[in-house]
Amino acid sequence: MKDTDAGGSDAVEQARTWLARQGVHPAASPVRPPRWTEIHDQHSVSDSSLEGDSEPPPRRKRPSRLESVPTAGDDDPDTDPDAEEVARSIVLRKLSAQARTRQELSKAMKAKNVPDDVGSAVLDRMEEVGLVDDAEFAREWVSSRQSRRYLSKTALRRELNSKGVAKDQIDSALETVDGEDEYAAALALAQKKLRSMAGLQHEVQYRRLAGALARRGFGSGTSSKVLAEVLHGQQGN
């Protein structure tokens, strides 16, 4: 017991000595004897650790890499860390509505500030899997527009060119349209327009039909032949 008491007394004295070195009067701070590690490493122990309920100051949180990246809005994926996902979403949303050319999809991404290199990479991938195919788009466009909208080859070429389809792809798609197809489309258009011109004079009908055919891109030879056919019966009335 004597040795134990002596050890305890030595510990108290060591604590008092340590407190004195720290500038704290031993009589004013009747604290518990500090652990040996607290005495041994003076740089690791602060005054606040000997004040009972006082908590050490919180550690400063180190910012993560994502926290240093500016937050981008829906219309500014240029600073979005995942601009590629934004680009894919734009492309797939457009394609779900209808087929689009590469140029049309590129313009849609630029309108949302998708970086050019990101947009090109996404479109390249879409072409690889067959979701973007300008050649197929041109073939389907010609087939649909020529029969439903009564367009000439000239008008079809103009439309496809405005959509960014390459010239060789346009030429290939228009090879399916021959002279008979053009004449059939022009005739169907003239007959449809003529039904709304009942009661008009022959000259007025001729002028309006000729204008409609010209706006659809039909040449003078095709237009003259069609006008003669549809207006032949009207001329005798």
Residue 157 above 90 pLDDT? yes
Name the residue range of residue 224's domain: 178-237
Task: Determine, yes or no, domain membership for 204.
Answer: yes
Distance CA 162, CA 173 (A): 15
Average pLDDT over residues 120-146: 95
The CA–CA distances, whole Å, from 42 to 25, 61, 224 equal 17, 25, 107
Shared domain check, 182 and 172: no
Shared domain check, 206 and 227: yes
Shared domain check, 114 and 141: no
Shared domain check, 163 and 120: no
Q: What pLDDT band is residue 20 in, cutting at 50, 70 and 90?
A: low
Average pLDDT over residues 16-22: 62
Residue 162 above 50 pLDDT? yes
Shared domain check, 152 and 109: no
Shared domain check, 188 and 168: no
Task: Determine, yes or no, domain membership for 199.
Answer: yes
Residue 2 above 50 pLDDT? no
Distance CA 105, CA 184 (A): 34
Q: Does the predicted model carry a pTM greater than 0.85?
A: no
Q: What pLDDT band is residue 120 in, cutting at 50, 70 and 90?
A: very high
Domain boundary among 89, 113, 128: 128
Shared domain check, 46 and 20: yes
Count of domains for the chain: 4
Q: What pLDDT band is residue 198 in, cutting at 50, 70 and 90?
A: confident
pLDDT value at position 64? 34
Residue 164 above 70 pLDDT? yes
Lowest mean pLDDT among 57-66, 150-159, 176-185: 57-66
pLDDT value at position 170? 97
Angle at 186 between CA 180 and CA 189, to 5 degrees: 140
Task: Determine, yes or no, domain membership for 60.
Answer: no
Shared domain check, 194 and 140: no
Task: Determine, yes or no, domain membership for 59.
Answer: no
Mean pLDDT across the chain: 77
pLDDT value at position 146? 84
Task: Determine, yes or no, domain membership for 56.
Answer: no
pLDDT value at position 117? 94
Shared domain check, 172 and 182: no
Task: Determine, yes or no, domain membership for 110.
Answer: yes
Task: Determine, yes or no, domain membership for 58.
Answer: no
Shared domain check, 155 and 198: no
Question: 68 or 40, which is more confident?
Answer: 40
Shared domain check, 140 and 93: no
The CA–CA distances, whole Å, from 193 to 13, 16, 135, 177, 179 equal 114, 111, 32, 23, 21
